[in-house]
A and B are shown apart, each in its own frame.
With several copies, the nearest count.
Chain A
Amino acid sequence: MTVLDHRHPDTVPGWLPGATGPRTDPAPLLPDASPLRILGTEAQAKTDPALLRELYRRLVVGRRYNQQATTLTKQGRLAVYPASTGQEACEVAAALALRPQDWLFPSYRDTLAVVSRGVDPLEALTLLRGSAHTGYDPVATRTAPLSTPLATQAPHAVGLAHAARLRGEQVVALTMLGDGGTSEGDFHEALNFAAVLHAPVVFLVQNNGYAISVPLTQQSAAPSLAHKAVGYGMPGRLVDGNDAAAMHAVLSEAVERARSGGGPTLIEALTYRVEAHTNADDATRYREDAEVTAWREHDPILMMERHLRPAGVIDDQLVQEAAEEAEALAARMRAEFHAEPVLDPQSLFTHVYAEMTPQLREQAAQLAAELAAEAEVEA
């Protein structure tokens, strides 16, 4: 009796001659017609105020983190920064929905989720600073390296979740992608593997309307990206990605369903990239300000304040505490990033293999000799 004996408990074995009906009922897999919302709906009152306050706090800190990182690029302290400004609800909810033993598989835009999970910004941003590929310990932090090749991290999440399940450990893998990433073959293969293996994985697609300059209409003709789920035999969920409460609810449900053996889920979060793709991008070439303005009105922080201040869940004290925490983080980032990193040229050769090959030993020696010679000249 193995885990895989019931890798997808609901499907009947293949088709029979003259079969009628699909192998399983597609209805429960289809997303609701409208994205889930909690803020400003009856569901808001049913949501734990402490959770709402925690989400708000993280949003405010997250926004400040995005602003500070962007500033650091202007000062040449970061090589490049892809801001998640406007998408903070997705980022912080993802961090909050996971337990310590769970794994996060972020894409290159998700450093906020990594920081919100507890990784120091200095470590989370080495890739974008240019000092190291990965600045944190993925095993200690249960956080995979930031994935730049789009959607390639998705099958890793499936494999890790599957391995944990094989070992009988209740670990969930959450992977984050963009709308553009859903077009890659790896996205498709990962979802199919997850469904077939019934692996405890959650796929969070942040549909922020653009893949750099390419709008969603040139990326997909689907009714929604969440509708892709039925084609794999997993549930698809559509949620307002700027409603932090809704994001947390949908993610937590999917994460705990996966943990309890319920299999994978695909979530499409509707959000918007209010900044340019990165500080190096010029968004005026491909979109109207009016569109941006409309979305700024639907800002995740504004939405919380709009609906939770009247309800008394957010008060001046919380606003002030959050602002102070945000400033403290920004100050720490400024200080930490203005120090020049100390790098070891020999690190080029360590960690290519478990042991240096004879060829790498020769090359390491060559570089050492060159640097010694340079030093002499300078002296």
Chain B
Amino acid sequence: MTTAVSTRTSTMAQALNSALRDEMRADPTVHVLGEDVGALGGVFRITDGLTAEFGEDRCLNTPLAEAGILGTAIGMAMYGLRPVVEMQFDAFAYPAMEQLVSHVAKMRNRTAGKLPLPITIRIPYGGGIGGVEHHSDSSEAYYAQTPGLHVVTPATVEDAYGLLRASIASDDPVIFLEPKRLYWGKAEWDPSVAVPPVGRAALRRDGRSAVLITYGPSLPVCLEAAEAAKAEGWDLAVLDLRTLVPFDDETVARVVRSVGRAVVVHESTGFGGVGAEIAARVTERCFHHLAAPVLRVTGFDIPYPPPMLEHHHLPGVDRILDAVARLQWEDGR
């Protein structure tokens, strides 16, 4: 696979674009399709320049119909191609739900392995960008509970590049969730480092008081909270799951056992959210190591609010620290 050597500084959006370009160069069976992915380069410019370099046959502007896009990608994958589908926004992937649940997630299983579908479905998700309704949904729980799908969501520029390449190279269908509000954050990263495996969490910050377990759009706010917690005398670890399915039980359990207290943080609604699964399985595995119940800090159980009110909905540093404070410290830190 052709990869640059020196490190570069770029936004997450640019890193995603590089990942697509590098995979398309490395593997002629990789095809991109979606709404506006051609000359426009997608509304977030993630596919910028791909049609120019690879032609319309490799990067295709489709008609405006998400079930049709995913259904067409399924057929392409059945013939040996490796489609990468762009859904324009989280809420606009819902029309493809039947194709996703009844075919993408099940095709390998219902054909006893004869028809694997190596499709990557890129979905810009989450809020915090002042988007109007239907442009800020956190839809990860719909996908995480559907057997047969891998669910990946990067939180750093380097992971965005590496995990997207890993997802495209995977022989399983991958829901690749891109945190919109991190698209424009710049960082220095090394495109030549080994592609991280799907399914492994990353400890972003070590700590001895408690661990914040999070992913995607909520990682930066958790790191901020951990910084602020020092003033309160808390030394917080921050764990970035990176992959929701398959879940990295090993790493998560090891960290939780070592600190004995955990708070799960995500911006999607709490009830039935991925945080419930994390809290439940962590408790199942670490019950006697826990000094307090695993708490959750999430968006409220409401439809995503209008832009001028979204800051009330999204978990912030204070809300996270309030939860940490409720971790029953009486028995010491």
Interface string of A340-362 (1 = CB under 8 A from B): 01010101111111100111100
- Among residues of B, the one whose C-beta sits closest to the C-beta of A373 is B318
Once A160-B78, A213-B61 are accepted as A-B contacts, the answer to whether A183 and B68 lie under 8 Å apart by CB is: yes
- Among residues of B, the one whose C-beta sits closest to the C-beta of A132 is B306
Contact at B113–A353, with CB atoms within 8 Å?
Answer: no
Once A144-B78, A219-B64 are accepted as A-B contacts, the answer to whether A357 and B38 lie under 8 Å apart by CB is: no
From B80, B102, B130, give the contact of A149 (CB < 8 A): B102
From B39, B43, B133, B245, give the contact of A148 (CB < 8 A): B133
Instruction: Chain B residues near A130: list those with CB within 8 A.
Output: 130, 132, 306-308
Once A79-B130, A183-B68, A192-B63 are accepted as A-B contacts, the answer to whether A343 and B308 lie under 8 Å apart by CB is: yes
Q: In the complex, A345→B300 CA distance in Å? A: 12
Contact at A159–B312, with CB atoms within 8 Å?
Answer: no
- Which of B43, B62, B102, B322 is the most central at the interface, judged by chain A CB atoms within 10 Å of its CB? B62
Question: Chain A, interface size: which category?
Answer: 35 or more
From B55, B78, B116, B322, give the contact of A354 (CB < 8 A): B116
Once A150-B64, A183-B63 are accepted as A-B contacts, the answer to whether A156 and B75 lie under 8 Å apart by CB is: yes
Interface 9-mer from B3-11, B12-20, B91-99, B184-192? B91-99
Q: Is there a chain B Cβ closer than 8 Å to A166's Cβ?
A: yes
Interface string of A132-147 (1 = CB under 8 A from B): 1110011110001100
How far is the CB of B113 from the nearest CB of chain A, in Å? 4
Interface of chain B residues 63 through 120 with chain A (CB within 8 A): 63-65, 67-68, 70-81, 83, 91-92, 94-95, 98-99, 102-103, 106-116
Q: In the complex, A131→B61 CA distance in Å? A: 33
Interface 9-mer from A1-9, A258-266, A317-325? A1-9
Q: In the complex, A254→B132 CA distance in Å? A: 33
Contact at A213–B68, with CB atoms within 8 Å?
Answer: no
From A163, A171, A185, give the contact of B76 (CB < 8 A): A163
Contact at B302–A360, with CB atoms within 8 Å?
Answer: yes
Q: Is there a chain B Cβ closer than 8 Å to A152's Cβ?
A: yes
- Which of B41, B72, B98, B147 is the most central at the interface, judged by chain A CB atoms within 10 Å of its CB? B72
Instruction: Chain B residues near A282: list those with CB within 8 A.
Output: 40
Instruction: Chain A residues near B305: list those with CB within 8 A.
Output: 348
Once A134-B111, A358-B250 are accepted as A-B contacts, the answer to whether A156 and B74 lie under 8 Å apart by CB is: yes
Contact at B307–A145, with CB atoms within 8 Å?
Answer: no
Instruction: Chain A residues near B99: list those with CB within 8 A.
Output: 152, 155, 186
Q: Is there a chain B Cβ closer than 8 Å to A367's Cβ?
A: yes
Q: Is there a chain B Cβ closer than 8 Å to A189's Cβ?
A: yes
Instruction: Chain A residues near B150: list those with CB within 8 A.
Output: 353
Can you spell out 10 A-B residue pairs with CB atoms less than 8 angstroms apart? A131-B308, A138-B115, A145-B107, A149-B134, A162-B72, A190-B68, A211-B35, A211-B36, A352-B148, A374-B318
Q: Which residues in A have some Cβ–Cβ distance to B below 8 Å? A: 2-5, 79-80, 108, 126-134, 137-140, 144-145, 148-150, 152, 154-164, 166-167, 171, 173, 180-181, 183-186, 188-190, 192-193, 196, 211-214, 218-220, 282, 285-286, 341, 343, 345, 347-354, 357-360, 363, 367, 370-371, 373-374
> Top 4 nearest A-B pairs by Cβ distance?
A159-B75, A155-B71, A189-B68, A130-B307
